[in-house]
Structure 1
Amino acid sequence: MLTRASMKARNVMRHVASVSGLQKHMPRCAFTSSMRPMSSEASLRAAPPEEKGFKGHDMLAPFTAGWQSSDIHPLIIEKSEVGSYVYDINGKKYLDALAGLWSTALGGSEPRLIKAATDQLNKLPFYHSFWNRTTKPSLDLAKEILEFFTARKMGKVFFTNSGSEANDSQVKLVWYYNNALGRPNKKKFIARLKSYHGSTLIAASLSGLPALHQKFDLPAPFVLHTDCPHYWRFHLPGETEEEFSTRLVNNLENLILKEGPETIAAFIAEPVIGAGGVILPPKTYFDKVQAVLKKYDILFVADEDRSLTDSRTPVILRLIRGEGLVLGTEFTDNKSPNDTFPPEWGVGSIFGSECEKHGLLIRLISKYGEALKSTEERVAQLKSQEKI
């Protein structure tokens, strides 16, 4: 009979074998920087002297199995440089391909951000925005975001510290909205399979990934899930994209009717599903979804993470884009689908988070052209090297 320790050891070695097998089939490339997987055969066997002593560290890390932090030396990132590279404590260079977690839009150690942060920390390190108090940088950033980042004029901006916190707040705002309209039963949210909306209690419930639910008693009872719009993976034989969209939206409508339209508060969707595989929906998908939502007076919440794609006209938009140090932002529309919400209730009032109050205002729109040019040059450079 295997002991718990021996079972864990066998799982580790199975993982080592699978990683080793994958590495054998990966072609070598001339690119000097590297991207390290969460663990590798080398990292399991030993670690450089500088990393000794960090195995079994005291930090509880997200998306990390307990045995990993106990048995594997962590990758410790020490510094960044201007651009998209970071360095570990041994000086090894890595391409930060995820841009932090889709939040360091200008790369690391950007001089303008460092100067803006230093200036603001010297002037006013922190002040809250409770009880109609705020700061000038908060107001300036909210105004600028509304002008540059929304397809149409939204009502207000609500700042948070992360995308998870933003999505939790969106649920609260939607519930608040329906309570104000005298609809206390209209509280359920419909999300999609394979979606990722965050790791906090409500945001993880909204996510359509089983790993975020198992052993956490999630999803919460008010969260429902419908189909993932991945045509290539889930279309029926001979089914066109148009027919695929129609079938999925029919399933959505059937779910609404089964639960009762009077109980469904909102539908939340990533315009491009990220963690599920960077999934672009068929072109007519959101048009058909919007028609159903409008039919049953259901709010549409767009959870925008990594693109500015067309998701039609959401009532609430959640954005994590990297406005300086701001990690989570919400846009709320003053005009709800039925236009009867009394403005005196104050949904979407400005709440400046600690990160945002450092006054890191940067017009990302003005940098897109420069960023695209840099990307094209980098792609050409990589193409000239051995194929990755």
Structure 2
Amino acid sequence: MTQLTNMQVRDIEALVHPYTPQHRLREIGPLVLERGHGVFVVDTQGKEYIEGMSGLWCAGLGFSDEEMIEAGTEQLKKLPYYHLFGAKGYEVAIELAEKLKEIAPVPISKVLFSSSGSEANDTQIKLAWYYNNALGRPDKKKIISRIKAYHGVTVMTASLTGLPNNHIDFDLPVARVVHADCPQYYRFAQEGETEAEFVARLAASLEALILREGPETVAAFIAEPIMGAGGVVVPPDSYFPAIQPILAKYDILCISDEVICGFGRTGNWFGCETMDFVPHTISVAKQLTASYAPLSAVLLPQFMIDALESQSAKIGTFGHGFTYGGHPLGCALGIKAIEIYKKRDILGRVRGLAPRFAERIKRLEDHPLVGNGRSKGLVGGVELVADKATRRPFDPKKGVAAQCVAFLQARGAILRAIGDTIAICPPMIIAEAELDELFDRLEKALDDGEAWVRKEGLRG
């Protein structure tokens, strides 16, 4: 049993921690943080950690950017809160919407703000239904997501999420949601199947799913360009070009969930550019404000705005919105974040670091615990296996990756275990020396993990 500090005891008695084994909190003890600087965070005992996950894939500018802090402070002094309901507006919301339209990879007519990625994706589904009702297609309402997808935790977005722990005993998924195959070649390719054959099979399977459900009932397909919380799944480069014509054939909206991939993470403004597909609508959050305040947005094309206006005329109003959607603080920080991404050439920085990042991830494939390493830009993952030759996973109840992450935390770095994949998503401002130090500590933590696996006899 861990000897807990007074602050840790107060934490346990006060907080419910998301995505945490609640029954083990007193055993493992929470990490209580006090401050941050650059790519580091510091706990209440003064110990410093390299934050290799950008918090939750989101703190792209690190934890102490003075320009961001100044922009937020100025906005709080000027207009600390207002809303966009009832034809109200303010300059920072207008300016941020204009900036998003400028950098969008597809023509965007208007922007609808909310507070979180879950809210943005929930809004996407409501608008897809609203749009089809406007067109007189009341049956075209099913949404195709994918196994291992992550789109949020509201009732609807948790249903879109293709992970069992988001469904079990929450009585999810709800109706109208179907899940297509996961495009992870390493885990789901059939024996002897080439990557091209794998993609062809998934494309044929998607079309068969649409035909089985009935194209007249399928409204939209939602996808992360790179699947984050499902285990950092990087699809084959040919995957999206193979499935996009199928969606177009059956008049199915294509929604790009850019909550993790947006704003430079993959080396382009948006992940759909990196993975070569053209969405109709886009969800953004997280690095939109470098996570210095909550904010999200849905980027909408003109044909959907036309539907909103026609239904508004029919009903009398547009009955959707959030109290904090377009919060002035978030909008001011979003404007400043985009300005910083441009003037500091953060996209170029990510592209410059990406080869070193990929090299260090691939080097880990030589480790006895690691079966596969994968990355794009500055997001990646290493998948741990019990048997490298057969790709046999560990018993998930043993929590091998979680134990390795605990060893890493003891060595002064923070990453995230997703099943038996260790996710890596450092702030985009990370220096190459800091990146190498992160991987050096990870290698040592994996050595610790290998010793633990041998001691416990976990390979079976």
Name the CA distance, whole Å, in 2 between partners of 1:66 and 1:210.
18
Name the counterpart of 1:329: 297
State the 1:311 CA deviation: 4.3
Name the counterpart of 2:127: 173
Alpha carbons of structure 1 residues 384 and 254: separation in structure 2 relative to 1, 3 Å? closer
Question: Which of 369-378 and 244-253 deviates more?
Answer: 369-378
Alpha carbons of structure 1 residues 377 and 348: separation in structure 2 relative to 1, 3 Å? farther
Map Cα deviations across residues 336-381 of structure 1 (whole Å, 9 max, x no partner).
6xx9847544789998432655522222233314565764532675
Question: Contact 1:156–1:332 at 8 Å: present in 2 too?
Answer: yes
Which of 112, 129, 147 aligns to 2:84? It is 129
Query: Does 2:223 correspond to 1:269?
Result: yes
Name the counterpart of 1:234: 188
Question: Contact 1:159–1:356 at 8 Å: present in 2 too?
Answer: no
State the 1:125 CA deviation: 0.4
Name the CA distance, whole Å, in 2 between partners of 1:278 and 1:260.
31
Name the CA distance, whole Å, in 2 between partners of 1:355 and 1:98.
27
What is the correspondence of 1:191-210 to structure 2 with a 5 Å cutoff?
A: 191-210=145-164
Question: Contact 2:295–2:327 at 8 Å: present in 1 too?
Answer: no
Question: Contact 1:51–1:73 at 8 Å: present in 2 too?
Answer: no
Name the counterpart of 2:74: 119
**Percent same amino acid among aligned pairs?**
40
Question: Contact 2:2–2:29 at 8 Å: present in 1 too?
Answer: no
Question: Which of 72-81 and 288-297 deviates more?
Answer: 72-81
Name the CA distance, whole Å, in 2 between partners of 1:322 and 1:302.
15
Name the counterpart of 2:416: none
State the 1:287 CA deviation: 1.5
Alpha carbons of structure 1 residues 107 and 293: separation in structure 2 relative to 1, 3 Å? same
RMSD, aligned CA: 2.7
| Number of aligned residue pairs | 340
Alpha carbons of structure 1 residues 313 and 343: separation in structure 2 relative to 1, 3 Å? farther
Which of 266, 280, 296 aligns to 1:315? It is 280
State the 1:275 CA deviation: 1.8
Task: Give the alignment's TM-score, normalised by structure 2.
Answer: 0.68
Name the counterpart of 1:76: 32
Question: Contact 1:78–1:88 at 8 Å: present in 2 too?
Answer: yes
Which of 17, 30, 41 aligns to 1:61? It is 17
Question: Contact 2:121–2:152 at 8 Å: present in 1 too?
Answer: yes
Name the CA distance, whole Å, in 1 between partners of 2:35 and 2:219.
44
Name the counterpart of 1:45: 2
Map Cα deviations across residues 152-202 of structure 1 (whole Å, 9 max, x no partner).
321222222111111111111111111111111111101000111112211
AA of the residue aligned to 1:334: Q
Question: Contact 1:50–1:89 at 8 Å: present in 2 too?
Answer: no
Name the counterpart of 2:62: 107
Question: Which of 285-294 and 373-382 deviates more?
Answer: 373-382
Query: Does 2:338 correspond to 1:283?
Result: no
Name the CA distance, whole Å, in 2 between partners of 1:223 and 1:231.
24
Map Cα deviations across residues 298-352 of structure 1 (whole Å, 9 max, x no partner).
101111113322341111111224233354222112246xx98475447899984
AA of the residue aligned to 2:82: Y
Question: Which of 277-286 and 51-60 deviates more?
Answer: 51-60
Higher helix proportion? 2
State the 1:72 CA deviation: 4.7
Name the CA distance, whole Å, in 1 between partners of 2:308 and 2:20.
45
Map Cα deviations across residues 230-278 of structure 1 (whole Å, 9 max, x no partner).
1122112222222211111111111111111111110111111112222
Task: Give the alignment's TM-score, normalised by structure 1.
Answer: 0.80
AA of the residue aligned to 1:359: A
State the 1:218 CA deviation: 0.5
Alpha carbons of structure 1 residues 240 and 348: separation in structure 2 relative to 1, 3 Å? farther
Unaligned residue ranges in structure 2 (runs of 5+): 313-317, 354-428, 445-460
What secondary structure sits across from 2:9 in the alignment? coil
Higher Cα radius of gyration: 1
AA of the residue aligned to 1:382: E
Name the CA distance, whole Å, in 1 between partners of 2:276 and 2:47.
40
Question: Contact 1:271–1:302 at 8 Å: present in 2 too?
Answer: yes
Alpha carbons of structure 1 residues 186 and 66: separation in structure 2 relative to 1, 3 Å? same
Name the CA distance, whole Å, in 2 between partners of 1:349 and 1:134.
16
Name the CA distance, whole Å, in 2 between partners of 1:52 and 1:188.
45
Name the CA distance, whole Å, in 1 between partners of 2:18 and 2:439.
38
Name the CA distance, whole Å, in 1 between partners of 2:435 and 2:63.
23
Question: Which of 308-317 and 161-170 deviates more?
Answer: 308-317
Map Cα deviations across residues 196-235 of structure 1 (whole Å, 9 max, x no partner).
1112211111011001000111011111001001112211
Name the counterpart of 1:366: 343
Question: Contact 1:125–1:358 at 8 Å: present in 2 too?
Answer: no
What secondary structure sits across from 2:49 in the alignment? strand
AA of the residue aligned to 2:209: L
Name the CA distance, whole Å, in 2 between partners of 1:196 and 1:350.
23
